[in-house]
């Protein structure tokens, strides 16, 4: 399973990368705004700064909702760095844009996916990654993890190359369940990744080891 961090905060990206488990980054306009990044050139510069930290796979989202606009924006984003993956919304023109980018050799991440039918369309169009939003489905009393399971099963049935990228991951159990189901990637905040480190028995065991060492050393 690949770990992507869902943020535009450079310090968080560096921390995740230094941990040695980071495979990529996903961002969106909301995350950029949260970091106070405004203006087209500043946004592009920030994407470049992210690319300079990580090894590969930085999802950069188009803002346009029409085919021509998405193609223009996507090409500009792809020019920033070879690590860029163009993030495209699951709408009719978005599916058309994914097909276009696929034919041009530009990697894509189809975002805002909430149903198996949408997942099939994205895979047929050649999306590199597909982002079903677990947490947002949970928020409206639908089982987000069940959607991940459905999509993984469908993709396995037909040998689709599109990777299932579980998004809107809110906590460590979301991540672990996605691993059990077989999602290719999860994208989540830093605290979800670092939360995997925590276990009370680890803390208790380490405290005892250190205490025993101190006794043996006569401290």
Nearest to 179 by CA among 166, 192, 188, 189: 166
Contact 131, 165 (CB under 8 A): yes
What is the DSSP code string of 141-200?
Answer: T--HHHHHHHHHHHHHHHT---EEEEBS--SHHHHHHHHHHT-SEEEE-HHHHHHTT--H
Q: Which residues pair with 188 in a beta bridge?
A: 5
Q: Is 87 designated active site?
A: yes
Contact 163, 176 (CB under 8 A): no
The pair of structure tokens assigned to 162 is 């599109």
Nearest to 104 by CA among 130, 131, 139, 77: 77
Residue carrying the six token digits 């925590």 = 198
Please identify which of the residues 87, 92, 96, 99 carries the catalytic annotation: 87
Active-site positions read: 87
């Amino acid at each position: 399973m690949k770990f992507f961090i869902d943020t535009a905060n450079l310090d968080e990206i560096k921390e995740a990368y230094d941990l040695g488990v980071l495979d990529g980054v996903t961002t969106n306009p909301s995350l950029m705004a949260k970091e106070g990044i405004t203006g087209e050139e500043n946004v592009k510069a920030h994407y470049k700064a992210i690319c300079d930290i990580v090894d590969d796979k930085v999802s950069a989202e188009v803002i346009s909702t029409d085919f021509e606009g998405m193609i223009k924006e996507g090409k500009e984003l792809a020019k920033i760095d070879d690590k860029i993956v163009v993030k495209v919304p699951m709408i009719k023109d978005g599916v058309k844009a994914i097909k276009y980018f696929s034919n041009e050799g530009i990697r894509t991440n189809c975002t805002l996916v909430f149903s198996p039918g949408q997942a099939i369309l994205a895979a047929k169009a050649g999306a590199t990654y597909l982002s079903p939003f677990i947490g947002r489905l949970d928020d409206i009393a639908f089982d987000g993890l069940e959607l991940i399971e459905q999509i993984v099963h469908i993709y396995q049935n037909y040998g689709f190359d599109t990777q299932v990228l579980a998004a809107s991951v809110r906590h460590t159990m979301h991540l672990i369940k996605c691993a059990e189901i077989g999602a290719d990637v999860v994208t989540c905040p830093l605290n979800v990744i670092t939360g995997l480190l925590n276990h009370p028995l680890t803390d208790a065991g380490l405290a005892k080891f250190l205490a025993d060492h101190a006794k043996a050393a006569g401290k």
